[in-house]
Structure 1
Amino acid sequence: ADEVRKLAERTQKSLVEIDATINVVVQSIMDANTDIAQNVHEVQALAVVTENLQKGMNNVSEIIHSTIAQSRDTVNDFIGTSDKIKHIVVEIEKINAISKENVASIDNVSQASDHLHAMTENLNNELSKFRS
């Protein structure tokens, strides 16, 4: 009977230890479950942040592409304006050459007019000799 009592006490002690171990395991599982749930929430929040970041990056990419296209258009406009300015410069140079020719022609006409005036004066002087 003493052995049965000792066996019962050991069994009772073992059952208490097993119960305590099970309680520790259950608590650890509950703590792990809480940690996992928290991690799930954090991963979901991180996924939302990542999605928003991706949308922002896509928006930035679209803005950059639009800016590049506008810059190309601006460069093409500058090139077109430069070509037009070059054409205007060529036309101004032609006008300048024509103006110089006109000045030379006016000088020639002026000299011819002066010469004609002098000849007219001489002719008038000669004619006045015959009239008197």
Structure 2
Amino acid sequence: MILCGGIEFARHERCYGTGVFVSDPLHYLALIETKPNALDRAAALQGWDLPEVFQHLRHLLEARMGNRGKREFIQVLRLMEAMPKDMVAAAATEAVRLGAIGFDAVKLIALARLDLSAYPHLPRTAVRTTAAADDTVLVPEVAA
């Protein structure tokens, strides 16, 4: 556990062996985003158990956009900093199924599936069905 001013801001598994490297891959993604070519060589990401859809999505992104695709893939991985891995994997699966290959698509699909009851501070909206008469306010001579 790592504390600052009495507030916990990181927690890692304790390792009792000597010379063993223990890391959380999510902690390194922001750095790797600035150096996307380090994605395959970063020690912190080695052995990261991700669902197969992530590798498939990466292949599609890089085939379509080259190095920019690698950056978008890292952004998809960074979604796991705020959402559960299963939710991001399901969104990536749906994006691939729809042929919407990109970070924005994965993010929007994941957000659409987000359970907003866990965020009570967000304002609630009410959307009602419009009627043709509602458009009369747009034409001044008809509204009068």
Shorter chain as denominator, the TM-score bin is under 0.3
| Structure with greater strand percent | 2
Structure 1 length-normalised TM:
0.15
| Structure with greater helix percent | 1
Structure 2 length-normalised TM:
0.14
The structure with the largest alpha-carbon Rg is 1
